[in-house]
Structure formats: structure tokens, C-alpha cells
Amino acid sequence: MKTFSKSCFNYCLSLVLMGASLSLLGQAPTVVSVTPVNNATGVATNVTMVLRFSAPMAADSFLAGFHLTFQPPGPFTSGDWNEDNTELSASLIFGGYAPGTKYTWSLTPGGSFPGLPQFTSAAGVPVVATSGSFTIAGTGGGGGTVVTGECTPEDRFDPAVIAVDDSCPDPTDPDPDNLYGFVSVFRSLRFNQVAANEVRPVAEGPFGGSAGATGPKDNPFTAVSYTGPGQPNRVLTNGFGFYFHSREFTTQAELEKEFPAGNYAFALTQTTGGNRNVTVNLPTAIPTAMRISNFDDAQRIAPSQAFAFRWPAVAGAGTSDALEFRIVEECTQRTVFLAPNPCVPINLRSTDTSIVVPANTLLPGKRYEGHLNYGRFNGLSQLPKTLQTGAGVFTETMFPINNPGGSGGGTSARITSFTLATGGFQLDATGTASKPYAIEVSPNLQTWTELITKTTDAAGLLSHTIPGGGGDVRFFRLRSK
């Protein structure tokens, strides 16, 4: 579950994320995806198995080697979690998987021995048992194909990647001790930038809406409902004192139908003092999706030099709007640069159109992801008796910073999947629309040979079937032409 951040932008965006997380807390958590994919072949001997869950998990309840087991027994692994405890990495501690061996894995809530604690979600609900298998490349493995771009255990915990300090208190925070209650309605729009002038909605949950409320610390709410523009009354779900309604949509039209602009009338039942009625107004204007103007230059940054990221001005930027720029290292998922940041300090106004990232912020050979976020608010207003209201619209654009210190060449294309197909394996990738890319193969990650050149379609997608068979290990990558 996300905690409240100190800045207005992060504070309000956290409400949207919290609503999305809490909507899943009461359900039995499931494994929604796994790497390597089920029945994968030609898997590297040093692979890090990654399981992604449908809800935040109780990380402390997981015991590596007991709740996740292998047949035949595999190498010793750890249980490492991402920030919101929705992704578990079974990283190798030492040793590796045996070449040519098929491993069947099982994830169970009760573990492999009687009396072990249950592996549960953050809400205490046991995980749904699941299992799968993968086959390691080598003699008897059949195929032996490996895709580059995966993070090794060393990459995921690289001490050279230093996370930025953003823990300083914000002097503008109206509620530093989290004593106030709040009532809010927000819409969020999430995008990927894949080329200098091409921004697309993300594949999963690109549009979201959330209405939420929680009472002051000294007078909690016991029930909350609201009536939106042209909508019937809706009773909000209670998630440990946070009342919410949150949904994700595949189109912006669906979002605006369920969360239209206008007034939302909330009815709040308090522990003491009777009921309260509060109205918040969701703004009509939705900011245009943000994009980096010098996208191509951002693919060939020299780490030893400062670099200025630039973006177009936002039309109608106001004093109650907020802008955030963030860089995250891909494997460790550590934030290495953040603006605004009161700890440095770094200021970033809603009317700014650039930010300079200092020299040596990025490391040679590392892959990074940028986040350019914009929030448009009707403002956070403080009502009597420590209750805040707010409404707004957020846009988030993510973009690759794929080759710091490299020579460029358009590394924005990515291999998105590698699956079994008739006669071999199907490689799927995404990149710039209608652009040629070379698919290259290597036996050792040192010497690369061009296999074929393929051109992406109008949606920026390409596929290619690679013949399987044999016991050799092969690595693949894409190169812009």
C-alpha cells in the first residue's frame, strides 16, 4: 500500500494509487505473471525467477525455500521484494540451475512443512496456490534460447546505484503529522513515450479514477457515500478506515463516463458530531500527455556530463498545478533523481520546460526509465475541523533512457516476449512505428551477428519466429538501423 507523500503532487497521486491497491486487499492474492513464463525452455542457468502478485503481499510472511519450492530441488534463492510488495524475485544466493534440467516450482500458502506461518497478502489473506515449470538451456534442454535484457541478481542489488534522498519534510505540507482527514476525487492517465513524437497509453490500466475519504485522526468516518454529476448515489468501500471507489479503464472515454468533470457531493458519517456534507469539484480540463522533446538525445547521454531534459510547455499551467520529474534505474528500481526535492533542494514549477540532471547521476552501462508527471488540481482546501478536500487530474509519461554513455543508434525498441511457437520460438518487440530493426544473435554476449532485419508496423510492433532445437545457448537483442 502506498503511503502519503509530502508534496501536493505526490500526496494527491498517492490517493489514486491507494484506492487501486485497497480495492484488491480483501481478495485472495494470486500470481498474475511469472518469469520465466510457464513451460519456457532454453532458460539461463542464472535466471532470477520473478513472481508478480495481484495485491500487495506481507513480505515478512514469505520464507524462501519453504513457500516456494522446486522439483528437483533448485539452487538456494532469496526472497527479494519491490517497493510496494507486489513483485517477488527469487534471486540466486549461490550456485545455479542445472543445464538441461526441467524444474517444476510450487507456491503454497502453508509451505512445505506443517506449522509454518501462512504466506498472505498485506491484509492477511492467504495466497492462492499455483505452480509451473521451466527448462534450463544445455544438454537435453532442447532449444537453448535466452533473451537479453533480463536483470541478473547482481544487477538488482548493485550498491553502485545510489537512491536519492527524498525523506526531508516539506515546509508547505499542511498536515505533516497526518492528523487531518480528506475527501477527494482524481483521474489519472498513464502513457509510454516510444519515440520523439510518439506517446501511447500504457498497455495495462492506462486510465484510472478514484474517489476516497478518511476522517480526522480524532474523529474517524464510519460511512461515506457520494453522488457524482448525473450519477446515482455510490457507497464507498471501507479499507481499514480509508473509504474508496477506484477503477481502471482501457479508454479515456470510459474514464470520463464514470468520473465526469463537475461536482461530487459526499455524505460523511462521523464517529461523533453527526453527519457532514462536502462537495468537491473535479476539473474539466485534462492536460495533454507529456513528452520529452529531446527523446533521441536521451538515448545517448554521457554520464560524465550534465544533461538537460526538455518538454513542451503545458497549456494553461496554473499555480495550483504540479510538475514532477523522476529517473529510476531499471534493475534496482531505485530513484536516482527527483525534482522537486526539498532535500537537495531542487525546485520545479508547473510552468518549467526543462530540468538539468547533474553529471555522474547516471552510471555507464545502466538502463534507466524517466517519469514526467503533471497534476492539475482544483486545489487542496482545508475545511474547519481539520478536513481537507481536493480534486484533480494526473498524467504520467514514462520513457526509456536506455543507453547512457553509448553511441546512440535508437535503443528505444524492446523485446516484450519470447514464447514457444511452431518450429521454434516467437520473438515479439515494440519500438518506433514503421522503423527497421536488426535482430542480432550472440552465443556469449560478446560477438553479435545480424539474424534478420524486420520493420515495425504502424503500431510499432514486430514479431519473428526463430527456429529452435539443439543444445546451444543463444542471446538476442534489437538494434536500430
**pLDDT single digits (tens) 118-138:** 888 888 888 988 988 888 876
In whole angstroms, what is the distance from residue 397 CA to residue 190 CA?
Answer: 6
pLDDT reading at 411 higher than 60: no
Three-state secondary structure call for residue 238: strand
| Cβ(413)–Cβ(429) below 8 Å | yes
β-bridge partners, 121: 57
Mean pLDDT across 238-267: 89
pLDDT reading at 390 higher than 90: no
The strands making up 80-81's β-sheet, listed across from edge to edge, are 31-35, 49-53, 87-90, 80-81
β-bridge partners, 239: 242
**pLDDT > 70 in the chain, percent:** 76
| Cβ(291)–Cβ(197) below 8 Å | yes
- Do you find a cis peptide bond into 72, omega within 30 degrees of 0? yes
Pairing of strands 198-201, 414-421: unpaired
The strands making up 436-442's β-sheet, listed across from edge to edge, are 145-147, 474-480, 436-442, 449-455
In whole angstroms, what is the distance from residue 224 CA to residue 262 CA?
Answer: 19
- pLDDT tens digit sequence for 253-271: 999 999 999 999 999 999 9
Mean pLDDT across 242-247: 85
In whole angstroms, what is the distance from residue 110 CA to residue 181 CA?
Answer: 38
Question: For position 154, what pLDDT does the model report?
Answer: 59
- pLDDT band of 144, cuts 50, 70, 90: very low
316: left (phi over 0), alpha (psi -120 to 50) or beta: left
Question: For position 157, what pLDDT does the model report?
Answer: 66
pLDDT reading at 56 higher than 70: yes
- pLDDT band of 224, cuts 50, 70, 90: very high
Question: For position 355, what pLDDT does the model report?
Answer: 96
DSSP state of 97: P
Among 98-112, 254-268, 302-316, 386-400, the minimum mean pLDDT is found in: 98-112
Among 182-191, 307-316, 374-383, the minimum mean pLDDT is found in: 374-383
Neighbours of 302 (CB within 10 A): 13
In whole angstroms, what is the distance from residue 399 CA to residue 310 CA?
Answer: 13
Residue that is written with C-alpha cell 545455479 in the block: 96
In whole angstroms, what is the distance from residue 292 CA to residue 397 CA?
Answer: 9
- pLDDT tens digit sequence for 177-192: 667 888 999 999 999 9
| Cβ(231)–Cβ(257) below 8 Å | no
Give DSSP secondary structure letters for 300-335: S--TTS-EEEE-PPPTT--TT-EEEEEEEETTT--E
- The CA–CA distances, whole Å, from 236 to 16, 39, 216, 268 equal 14, 42, 17, 10
Mean predicted lDDT score pLDDT of the chain: 78
* CA proximity to 244, closest of 235, 231, 254: 235
Question: For position 65, what pLDDT does the model report?
Answer: 63
pLDDT reading at 291 higher than 80: yes
Residues 6+ away with beta carbon under 8 Å from 302: 404, 405
Residues 6+ away with beta carbon under 8 Å from 405: 301, 302, 303, 362, 364, 365
- pLDDT tens digit sequence for 435-470: 888 888 877 656 778 889 998 887 778 888 887 654
Mean pLDDT across 381-401: 80
- pLDDT band of 6, cuts 50, 70, 90: very low
Three-state secondary structure call for residue 12: helix
Burial code (b: 16+ CB inside 10 Å, e: under 16) for 326-335 equals: bbbbbbbeeb
- The CA–CA distances, whole Å, from 282 to 34, 259, 263 equal 38, 9, 6
- pLDDT band of 339, cuts 50, 70, 90: very high
pLDDT reading at 58 higher than 50: yes
- pLDDT band of 426, cuts 50, 70, 90: confident
DSSP state of 405: T
Residues 6+ away with beta carbon under 8 Å from 338: 164, 166, 324, 325, 326, 327, 346
Question: For position 260, what pLDDT does the model report?
Answer: 94
pLDDT reading at 147 higher than 50: no
pLDDT reading at 325 higher than 50: yes
* Cell numbers placing 368: 534507466
In whole angstroms, what is the distance from residue 419 CA to residue 159 CA?
Answer: 33
